[in-house]
Structure 1
Amino acid sequence: MNTGSTQDIVIEVLQRASSQNPEVLKPAEAKLREWETQPGFYTVLFNVLSNHSLDINVRWIAVLYIKNGIERYWRKNAPNAILEAEKQNIKHGLILSFNEPVSQIAVQRAVLISKIARIDCPKEWPELFPTLLQVIESPDSLVQHRGFLTLHHVVKAIASKRLTGDRRFFQEFSSNIYSFVLNLWNNFTEQFMNDVMKGAASQLVLTNLEKALLTLRILRKLTVFGFYKPHQNQDCMKFLKVIFDRAKMALQCRKHLRDKELVEQCEKFITHLTKVLISVLDVHPFSFIDFIQPSFEFTTYFLFTPDGINFLFERFIIQCFNLIKNILLCVEYKPPKILEMCKQEETLKAHEIKINFFQANTLTEICRKLVSHYFILTQEELEMWDADPETFAIDESGDSWKYSLRPCMETVFVTIFHEFRDALAPVLLEMIHETNCIVLPEDTQGILRKDAVYNAVNLAAYDLYDEVDFDSWFTNTLTHELKMKQNNYRVIRRRVCALIGRWTGIKLSSELRPALYECVINLLGPDEDMAVRLTASATLRYAIDDFEFSSDQFRDYLDPAFNLLFNLLKEANECETKMHVLNVMTLMVERVGQTIKPHTDALIHYLPLLWTESEDHNMLRCAIVSTLVQLVKALGSVSSELNPFLLPIIQLGTDTNQSAIVYLLEDCLELWLTVLENSTTMSNELLQLFNNMPTLLEYSTENLRLCLLIVLVHTLLAPDLVMRTHGVQVITVCDNLMADMKNEGIVMLIRMLEIFIRSSPILGCETVFPILPRIFQKIYEGEDYPLLMSMYLSILARVLLSSHDVFTRVLRTLAQVHNETDENVLGKILNVWLSKMPMVSQLEQRKLLGLALTNLLTTQSRPVFQRFATVMVNILECLNDMEDSLLLSDGRSPSDYDDVVPYETDHDQRKKQLILSDPVHTIVLKDYLQSQMYELRNQIGLPQYEQLLQTVDPDTISQLKGYITL
């Protein structure tokens, strides 16, 4: 690209690319994409970025496109890589000027430099760091700030590199620059604090505070990633020691600030100081040992003393709690139970510091303060309960403790209680005793205190197992509190409900389960508070999901529970709430099975509506599909009424061209399988659905097992139809996949092939023909894995018993590949077959191989005659092993299915029918051998027949005469 007029054209396109009108925006974006790989394009963009007189939106789009270009085309080996001369010009221009006036663009420019630095530093851009170090000493405040901003992003980028050479470079760089940055940070921090105390102008305070924060961020990365052992560096230790005093002073300064932006920046500064401590603890626990005691003193002063609490703000509270928790949970600080066995002196030292600090009086104070101060529901939370009960009631999960106050406090409480259970259990029991009386409904503070104590008992449930007689508490107190229906008492009702849910799986007698169900049903009613109802639904989930759950005991409560949950599902507004309630209903359907049948009509009619409403909520749609899986299983058959709803859902979730597949695939495959298992006939819609399968098999190995299972079940439903319409296509895909499959995948695939042949022997052999040469080749080579070898031999045997023509064609194909005769190939396969057959352990497979060997006796095959003695020995061993115990007679079920009565699905019936027609279970081996020996004698004449028998050792002949007449 040439500059000048070209630049004007690019500016015009960038202006259009910043438009809100799609008709203007899309052509502009297409044009920019077209220019992405043209030489000179990024130079023009950089010139646009550097022109401060241009519109901010145009410059913003320009910098974003340069960033994208660096990610795609900056590396030398990248396709359409940016030319070296152009890269040099851009790098030179980037560090020529640091006076960007617009903050947002300054940040993007810094990120731009860091992205290039991550690729080019230090070899390709040696001048970057010296330039940045000069810039951060500039007397111009703006230039200096932009220099710090850039250095921060560059250090962040370089610190994230993990190759040994890169880490060594960063460590050398850190040791060279550390004291310089530390000195700057100290100066800016002191200036900021002095300015606050003197009441200086807000802009001056903000300038120094921003620079103090940027240098602090740089120091954190240098400290954590720039030193192998930070405690061996004096400057690192000096920095970490001063953090506590700096944080205290910054907290005092915050009290004096009135400007909102200043307060926010000051809070970021304080938070980042604690972040330094947490980062060093996480990455260098042994370097942190000297700071365990000051960390405990610092955090407990601010969290648990009347003076310290005055300085708190939410983010700082969270960081302090997380610091305590991380120290207590640090694996390196936990010695073995027998202290003498600990080999790390540092571990013992850290453990001793923890034990000495957390004396009984300290623990008591912390426990009481956590419960009586931090666990109390705040006015904001109560207002949120009134305004949005659904959001309030849904528990936060995952890593929310890192960022949210209540989960953070609760995880710290659990950690401390578990660590010091013996000391804290009596304290909590005393608090239970103190709040054990019934609180008056108008005593709001009493209700909130009791709520907090109950929350603590809920959280510490596992550690209180031996201390609390929950049955007695449940019967004598908790059930009575649930009957208090005043509005204020909703707080207690919700907490008691949650408490019961937690203790259900820990220590609630099975005799009290009916009383629990009564309580939950009373709390699910439409006249109850929404948050209480949602908590009750969660409690019901715990009760149903428990190991000791009895569907018989639940039978009388099934109808009201299911109906109340259904009403709750319809009344809920939030998708996440609906998902939670639906999950409870799904679990209920799964646990009670077909007992649910009379109660499902309303849900079945509601789910299509919910599916339509949840178009933009993929997780809710996943929950709906899971519910449908359990419903179909419970109903035991797929009604014609359900199919028009189910099949389009499966179609959507298994179509690789649809974006929904990312979320829905696994659940929809499960639904597809369940629908097939419970279908009596193959419909056109089910057959069309199978069009998705070939691409699905190639789409993801994670779901290969489910896909192969669906193919298998689908085939059994209508063998001939499926094989004629989709068989060869599926087998061809599987043939390509088999080369890269692991053993587990191959086992699943072979089972599917076996079903093809068993369900329609002749057509099945023709259908699986494309993959047979690969399987015969594995036998030819002598597969080492015994399970696979026995399965390969089973396929060979079934092909031989089903279609001599296909068997011969496979041998011919293999002979052409190896440039050998058909007889030679068969001979080598027979050698492997006969040597491996004694290792086949499954009786069904051994008999199948025996039948196939017996079948070979009359094929007039020279390789068989040459190995006649070994063939007869293997057939005899089959006869000795089973004596036809696998035969089905007098209505007896095959061994595979002796315990599975009655058959639960239509698919189970089809499997039974398949077994009833299997040669292994219908042919008497000794009778078949007898007829084959007669046929062989007739084919080759008596003299040659007797010659063959003479090759067999007398003992084998003697044993054979016990079964047949020779």
Structure 2
Amino acid sequence: MTEISAPQQMVLGALRQAASQNVELLPDAESKLREWETEPGFYSILLNIFTNHSIEVNVRWLAVLYFKNGVDRFWRKTAPNAISEEEKVTLRRGLVSNFHEPVNQVATQIAVLLAKIARFDCPREWPDLVPVLLSEAKSQVPIVQQRSLLYLHHVIKSLSSKRLAGDRRLFQELTGNVFGFVLHLWNTHLEQFLQEASQGKEDMLNALEKALFCLRILRKLALYGFKKPHESSECFLFLNMVFDRAKTMLECRKTLLQKRIGPVETVEKFIIHLSKVLMSVLEHHPFSYVELIRPSLELCVYYAFTPAGEPLLFERFLIHCLNIIKGILMCAEYKPAKIEEVDDILSASETKEPATLKAHQVKQDFFTEDTLHEMCRKLVSHYFLLTQDDLQLWDSDPESFATDEGGESWKYSLRPCTEALFLALFHEYRTILTPVLLDMIRSNHALVDPSDLNAILRKDAVYNAVGIAAFDLYDEVNFDQWFSTTLTQELGVRDGNYRIIRRRVVWLIGQWLSVKLSPELRPALYANTLPLLQAGEDIAVRLAASNTLKLAIDDFEFISEQFLPFLEPAFSLLFALLKEVHECDTKMHVLYVLSFMVERVGLSIRPHAGALVQYLPLLWEESADHNMLRCAIVSTLVQLVKALGSGSETLHPFLLPVIQMSTDVQQDCHVYLMEDGLELWLAVLENTATASPDLLQLFRNMPPLLESSSENLRTCYYIIQASVLLGPEQFLKTYGEVIINLCNDMLADMRSEGVIMTMRLVETCLRAAPTLFPEILEPMLPRIFEAIYRGEDYPMVMSMYLSIMARVLLCSRDVFSQAVTKVADSLRQSQEAVLDKMLDVWLDKMALVTQLERRKLLGLALASLLTAGSRSVLDRFCGVLLNITEALNDVMKVEDTGRQVDSLLLSEQSSPTPIIQDDDVDYESEHDHRRKQLAAHDPVHTVSLRDYFQMQLTELTRQIGSAQMEQLKHTVDVETMEQALEYISL
């Protein structure tokens, strides 16, 4: 044993302390290791430690982990504190001289470590890595052979994941060089295993593990090492061998099970990986797979759908078989562009890809009527049947049984997998399979004896098939009649075994709701569903009924008036179910149905919501460890607040802490709750009559939200707008300066859409507090005025900038002047020159402002400037007159009496179009009333532009005298003067 150096002894000591998990020693050890990780030679010491088999296993394992983490952070040449090239050479050499690692866990970590380095260095800086690994794979020493294949597997896996074109070319070159050798190794080790298995040798696992490593390597090479795998003779040979090897290994598994010897679990892994090879190539290289379609279908149908193949099956392999069939059926590359007749390949003449036509023909030849009939019947009558295990799970844990497996569960779970295949088959061969399914419906149409469990299970399976294929059976099934007769009767049978039928029938109705159930039958649907929600009913049946009720309410043809008579019992029964279920997922599901019901019926829920309102705080406390359930609670609270309106203020002691927690970026749960929390905050503000200190204090959460992300910017701005309207003076005095500083900082990086939203927010503040807010806005005004000075190109942005400038001008000339002065100082120009340029832009761009309210606002502001005593304004008298006159052309209308009136002035009968543009809402909230009140006091709706213009001109004449006024009039062209005189006198 070599002598351990002092630095190595120090690192070894720190690793031993870290591996001890002693809470007193751990922090110091981790601190030391962190400090050393950038020191030269540290990783060479780690290499010496984990390759020294006399050191404790847990210490060696930890040394590999530290080395692996160091590769992630310091191996790149450009990384800060990167490992030196000289040390890297030593490390690479040391790593490929260690093929005798006795501990599997350490060996696996070394393999992953090698793969990480290979991703950086292979083949350019480390060209001999793969040759060394292949050379060691020929070793006669079993452990060296095994470790070299383990390392090669991880290296190939890592290299195959690189996606740049250059990297892919290099991997293809590598594949061409090594594929034949690995294929030979695979055959050799597999033959050795089969021979040892037939002789019942105890050490047969060693050969099988090596064969499995080779198979995994071959899969990656086949997938990513060839542009077109079928053009490589070696690769195509391998793919064809998969079928025979699968059959052989299935027989081997059966033999080992019968003899109760051997590594059955590893044999199953091997078989699964063979099927993964087929699925992967089908997915990534569909045209290379065309020649394999027929043998794939023969293999999979034999084992999944024939009595001879069934004894050899195990579940995971069955799932893969069914998914291969489904993959072939669903593959877009195997479907001709135009098919007039299902069995006529010539009708696909528009398809130019020969491989597509060939694949389609192979499918048509294989899927004969007899084959399709057999597969359909086997799926429904065998795979769809509830098993004894299913029924036991139903009895012991009905909530788990009732959980709907969604998403991609068909990839790994048998029942969703069979259902997905059935749907794909039925959709592809509807004309052939429809008579088969209709015959099954007729055979199972009559009510069955409640004591005949087999008949009940058969009916359940058939109804499942009819629900899955609902869209394809649209023209074949009179569902209204079926619902009104047999299905309604079956829902009323209360026998214990009949819970299976009741659950399936109510699910079936949900599947057909949006397909073919007349609107006039909806009341009958509600009436028949409610009894299934009652406390005496089975939990799984109640959950299925709740989902069908949700589908009915969510349907396009839902009529709330039809549902209102059933609202109170439905809400009460769902609420009782919510309290009764225990699983987090189940509570979420029921709460979602309740929330959706509240949303759809709106104000009608008010008399019935009391119990839910009282229960939600308790549920919130119980769900502290379940963020997704809390998401559902917050989402429900949003709908409840909207439905209860100002009556929701009594809930503030509960709601405000929920909002506080959900929108606090310091809380870990904010990642889950943020979006719904902001919606709840907005709903509370919009449905509150008067501001309270606690509600305003929530705003402390807002600055970090605005700083951290623009994802929820729109909702955050709506919250600020709603807060401003709720208590303008109080809110803006406290938070106005913070808002403006944040918005001003964000404007620098905002796109046009964000700038427009920000300006709308600023405008709301100016309208709500015209005497207070202009001074608060001062830090942002130079940015806005400079944008106007430059002549911002985007019309909507310019329209908003001009609107802000106009409102500031109408609210406070002093603030306006100070902002112009700051811009002048910034640009190192005179105030007069800056004002001249801004006025030129204003007069030029005002024609681009399309919204009537904004055109009038700009007209009022221009008119106000006439008496400002500014030479810049008077020099542009013609342009000012023209723009105000054009604004008058837009806003003036002629009444029936012939009198001209300002169309935007509010009367008792009219209501304004709010300038604040929130999302549309279908209820009248406190916020809506405040918006109307704000509009009612806006100069746009209270001041006549024509009268104000006339007044300003009269005042201007008084200021400058008639003689100078005449001179100004001479600067106006005849056409403009004629238009102006239609509204005013000069």
Q: What TM-score comes out, normalization by structure 1 length?
A: 0.97
Q: Name the structure 1 match of 2:47.
A: 46
Q: Quick one: structure 1 residues 717 and 482, their matched pair in 2 at CA, closer, same or farther if it must change by over 3 Å?
A: same
Q: Name the structure 1 match of 2:942.
A: 922
Structure 1 residues 79-478: aligned runs within 5 Å = 79-196=80-197, 198-203=198-203, 205-258=204-257, 262-337=263-338, 339-478=348-487
Shift of 1:903: 6.8
One-letter code of the match for 1:105?
V
Partner Cα separation in structure 2 for residue 903 and residue 490 of structure 1: 41
Q: Quick one: structure 1 residues 22 and 509, their matched pair in 2 at CA, closer, same or farther if it must change by over 3 Å?
A: farther
Q: Name the structure 1 match of 2:896.
A: none
Q: 1:566 aligns with which of 575, 581, 585?
A: 575
One-letter code of the match for 1:633?
K
Q: Indicate if the aligned counterparts of 2:859 and 2:887 stay in contact, CA closer than 8 A.
A: yes
Residue by residue over 1:470-529, the C-alpha shift from the partner in whole angstroms, topping out at 9 and shown as x without a partner, is 111111111111112121111111111111111112111122112211222111111111
Instruction: Please tell me whether residue 892 in structure 1 is matched to residue 901 in structure 2.
Output: no
One-letter code of the match for 2:872?
P
Q: Quick one: structure 1 residues 6 and 748, their matched pair in 2 at CA, closer, same or farther if it must change by over 3 Å?
A: same
Secondary structure at the aligned position of 2:290 is classed as helix
Instruction: Please tell me whether residue 675 in structure 1 is matched to residue 684 in structure 2.
Output: yes
Secondary structure at the aligned position of 2:711 is classed as helix
Shift of 1:848: 0.8
Q: Name the structure 2 match of 1:876.
A: 885
Q: 1:799 aligns with which of 791, 808, 820?
A: 808
**Structure 1 residues not aligned, in runs of 5+:** none
Q: Indicate if the aligned counterparts of 1:638 and 1:675 stay in contact, CA closer than 8 A.
A: no
Q: 1:783 aligns with which of 771, 788, 792?
A: 792
Partner Cα separation in structure 2 for residue 494 and residue 186 of structure 1: 52
Q: Indicate if the aligned counterparts of 2:649 and 2:688 stay in contact, CA closer than 8 A.
A: no
One-letter code of the match for 1:93?
G
* Of 655-664 and 149-158, the range deviating more from structure 2: 655-664
Instruction: Please tell me whether residue 650 in structure 1 is matched to residue 651 in structure 2.
Output: no
Residue by residue over 1:866-923, the C-alpha shift from the partner in whole angstroms, topping out at 9 and shown as x without a partner, is 2111110111111111111010013421245999999711110110011001111110
One-letter code of the match for 2:220?
K
Partner Cα separation in structure 1 for residue 420 and residue 597 of structure 2: 30
Structure 1 residues 445-524: aligned runs within 5 Å = 445-524=454-533
Partner Cα separation in structure 2 for residue 845 and residue 278 of structure 1: 62
Q: Name the structure 2 match of 1:62.
A: 63
Q: Indicate if the aligned counterparts of 2:641 and 2:648 stay in contact, CA closer than 8 A.
A: no
Residue by residue over 1:142-174, the C-alpha shift from the partner in whole angstroms, topping out at 9 and shown as x without a partner, is 110110000000000000001111111100000
Partner Cα separation in structure 2 for residue 579 and residue 400 of structure 1: 19
One-letter code of the match for 1:957?
M
Partner Cα separation in structure 2 for residue 546 and residue 595 of structure 1: 19
Q: Name the structure 2 match of 1:939.
A: 959
Residue by residue over 1:359-395, the C-alpha shift from the partner in whole angstroms, topping out at 9 and shown as x without a partner, is 2221111111110111111111111111111111010
One-letter code of the match for 1:928?
Y
Partner Cα separation in structure 2 for residue 27 and residue 456 of structure 1: 63
* Of 579-588 and 951-960, the range deviating more from structure 2: 951-960
Q: Name the structure 2 match of 1:845.
A: 854
Q: Quick one: structure 1 residues 596 and 736, their matched pair in 2 at CA, closer, same or farther if it must change by over 3 Å?
A: same
Partner Cα separation in structure 2 for residue 698 and residue 912 of structure 1: 31
Residue by residue over 1:112-136, the C-alpha shift from the partner in whole angstroms, topping out at 9 and shown as x without a partner, is 1000100111112122112101111
Q: Indicate if the aligned counterparts of 1:152 and 1:215 stay in contact, CA closer than 8 A.
A: yes
Partner Cα separation in structure 2 for residue 135 and residue 166 of structure 1: 25
* Of 897-906 and 431-440, the range deviating more from structure 2: 897-906
Q: Indicate if the aligned counterparts of 1:439 and 1:447 stay in contact, CA closer than 8 A.
A: yes
Q: Name the structure 2 match of 1:963.
A: 983
Structure 1 residues 641-720: aligned runs within 5 Å = 641-720=650-729
Shift of 1:27: 4.3
Q: Quick one: structure 1 residues 22 and 484, their matched pair in 2 at CA, closer, same or farther if it must change by over 3 Å?
A: farther
Q: Indicate if the aligned counterparts of 1:903 and 1:909 stay in contact, CA closer than 8 A.
A: no
Partner Cα separation in structure 1 for residue 788 and residue 867 of structure 2: 22
Partner Cα separation in structure 2 for residue 30 and residue 438 of structure 1: 74
One-letter code of the match for 1:228?
K
Partner Cα separation in structure 1 for residue 63 and residue 456 of structure 2: 59
Q: Name the structure 1 match of 2:836.
A: 827
Q: Quick one: structure 1 residues 19 and 397, their matched pair in 2 at CA, closer, same or farther if it must change by over 3 Å?
A: farther
Q: Quick one: structure 1 residues 260 and 601, their matched pair in 2 at CA, closer, same or farther if it must change by over 3 Å?
A: farther
Partner Cα separation in structure 2 for residue 376 and residue 276 of structure 1: 30
**Structure 2 residues not aligned, in runs of 5+:** 340-347, 893-901
Q: Name the structure 2 match of 1:77.
A: 78
Partner Cα separation in structure 2 for residue 554 and residue 561 of structure 1: 10
* Of 617-626 and 397-406, the range deviating more from structure 2: 397-406
Partner Cα separation in structure 1 for residue 538 and residue 922 of structure 2: 45
Partner Cα separation in structure 2 for residue 417 and residue 425 of structure 1: 8
Identity over aligned pairs, percent:
58
Q: Indicate if the aligned counterparts of 1:494 and 1:532 stay in contact, CA closer than 8 A.
A: yes
Q: 2:826 aligns with which of 811, 817, 831?
A: 817
Partner Cα separation in structure 1 for residue 464 and residue 422 of structure 2: 11
Partner Cα separation in structure 2 for residue 818 and residue 187 of structure 1: 82
Partner Cα separation in structure 1 for residue 583 and residue 416 of structure 2: 21
Q: Name the structure 2 match of 1:906.
A: 926
Shift of 1:643: 1.0
Q: 2:595 aligns with which of 567, 586, 594?
A: 586
* Of 825-834 and 460-469, the range deviating more from structure 2: 825-834
Q: Name the structure 1 match of 2:538.
A: 529
Partner Cα separation in structure 1 for residue 546 and residue 11 of structure 2: 59
Q: Quick one: structure 1 residues 844 and 615, their matched pair in 2 at CA, closer, same or farther if it must change by over 3 Å?
A: same
Q: Quick one: structure 1 residues 22 and 544, their matched pair in 2 at CA, closer, same or farther if it must change by over 3 Å?
A: farther
One-letter code of the match for 2:162?
K
Q: Quick one: structure 1 residues 700 and 268, their matched pair in 2 at CA, closer, same or farther if it must change by over 3 Å?
A: same
One-letter code of the match for 2:962?
L
Residue by residue over 1:638-693, the C-alpha shift from the partner in whole angstroms, topping out at 9 and shown as x without a partner, is 54531111111111111111111111110000000000101112211122110111
Residue by residue over 1:909-955, the C-alpha shift from the partner in whole angstroms, topping out at 9 and shown as x without a partner, is 11001100111111001100111001111111111111001111123
Residue by residue over 1:794-846, the C-alpha shift from the partner in whole angstroms, topping out at 9 and shown as x without a partner, is 11111111111111122112112221111111111222211121122111111
Q: Indicate if the aligned counterparts of 2:256 and 2:262 stay in contact, CA closer than 8 A.
A: no
Q: 1:760 aligns with which of 763, 769, 780?
A: 769
Secondary structure at the aligned position of 1:202 is classed as coil
Secondary structure at the aligned position of 2:907 is classed as coil
Residue by residue over 1:546-599, the C-alpha shift from the partner in whole angstroms, topping out at 9 and shown as x without a partner, is 111122111121111111111111111111110001000000110111111111
Partner Cα separation in structure 1 for residue 606 and residue 19 of structure 2: 57
